[in-house]
């Protein structure tokens, strides 16, 4: 597998034209490629920017944007406001002020539909039929320092690779094993794109194994996202003092 970062002109909040700047790059796509694009440039493209001086503080805005939030007083050192938004556990509802000048950048509007819209644009613009797209962001992982990438939204490919029913090296059948392709690819792409001054908010992921066309999957294990009540981490997630945010 190969990951190719793509340099783009800086997008400036509150709003800027992502698509015209992509056209100016040396981006070359092939059938089977996956385009990874950071959520921040997608948000600036949508105008999802809020002037910092227009709100009292970031937490106020985060609570409005969050589906659920946990007050800082419950967090060691009061370092973050934990939130749940778009079925993801993320600090501050994904709101970020890095590489944003005097603005806070919110998450893209309706990430899944936005990913589908961007995918269709890339297909049409680069005259391709079989490509995928991931909108990436980064988050903290429990009991680990540092941040890693994850897929905020995806389109054009099946996000789960299913091992269930197949046999392992010793002939034992897999019962529950599925590989999360969307997040795995996002981790690799974010590592290559970087988090600082790289100016590479876009990457091409090429030669992905186990890639499948998207399916209309049904049933308990057909979706990549899991309701909190069914999640194996429910004992940790449900037994804290969550409050409803403005998006719920």
18-35: pLDDT as tens digits: 999 999 999 999 999 999
Quickly state the pLDDT bin for 220 (edges 50, 70, 90): low
Are 245 and 68 a contacting pair, CB within 8 Å?
yes
91-141: pLDDT as tens digits: 999 999 998 999 999 999 999 999 999 999 999 999 999 999 999 999 999
Cα–Cα distance for residue pair 112/35, rounded to 1 Å: 15
Both tokens assigned to 149: 């990438």
Cα–Cα distance for residue pair 73/130, rounded to 1 Å: 48
Q: How far is the CA of 130 from the CAs of 112, 155, 211, 214, 215, in angstroms?
A: 18, 11, 11, 11, 14
Closest CA to 130 of 27, 5, 30: 30
Sequence length of the chain is 248
Are 31 and 131 a contacting pair, CB within 8 Å?
yes
What domains are there in the chain, each with its CATH number? Answer: 1-47+108-227 (3.30.1330.100), 49-107 (no CATH)
pLDDT the model gives residue 115: 98
Quickly state the pLDDT bin for 219 (edges 50, 70, 90): low
Cβ neighbours for 204, distance < 8 A, ≥ 6 positions apart: 3, 4, 6, 27, 28, 29, 33, 34, 35, 36
Q: Regarding predicted confidence, which is higher, 164 or 155?
A: 155
């Amino acid at each position: 597998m190969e990951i190719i970062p793509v340099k783009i002109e800086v997008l400036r909040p509150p709003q800027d034209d992502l698509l015209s700047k992509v056209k100016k790059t040396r981006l070359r796509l092939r059938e089977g490629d996956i385009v990874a694009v950071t959520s921040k440039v997608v948000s600036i493209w949508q105008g999802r920017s809020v002037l910092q001086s227009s709100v009292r503080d970031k937490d106020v805005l985060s609570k409005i944007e969050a589906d659920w939030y946990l007050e800082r007083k419950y967090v060691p050192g009061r370092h973050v406001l934990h939130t749940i938004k778009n079925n993801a556990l993320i600090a501050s509802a994904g709101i970020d002020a890095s590489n944003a000048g005097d603005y806070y950048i919110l998450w893209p509007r309706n990430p899944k539909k936005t990913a589908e819209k961007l995918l269709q644009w890339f297909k049409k613009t680069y005259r391709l039929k079989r490509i995928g797209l991931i909108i990436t962001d980064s988050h903290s992982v429990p009991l680990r320092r540092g941040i890693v990438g994850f897929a905020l939204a995806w389109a054009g490919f099946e996000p789960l690779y299913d091992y269930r029913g197949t046999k392992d090296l010793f002939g034992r059948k897999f019962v529950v094993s599925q590989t999360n392709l969307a997040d795995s690819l996002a981790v690799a792409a974010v590592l290559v794109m970087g988090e600082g001054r790289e100016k590479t908010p876009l990457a091409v992921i090429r030669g992905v194994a186990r890639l499948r066309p998207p399916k209309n999957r049904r049933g308990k294990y057909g979706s990549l996202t899991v309701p909190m009540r069914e999640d194996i981490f429910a004992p940790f997630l449900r037994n804290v003092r969550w409050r409803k945010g403005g998006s719920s």
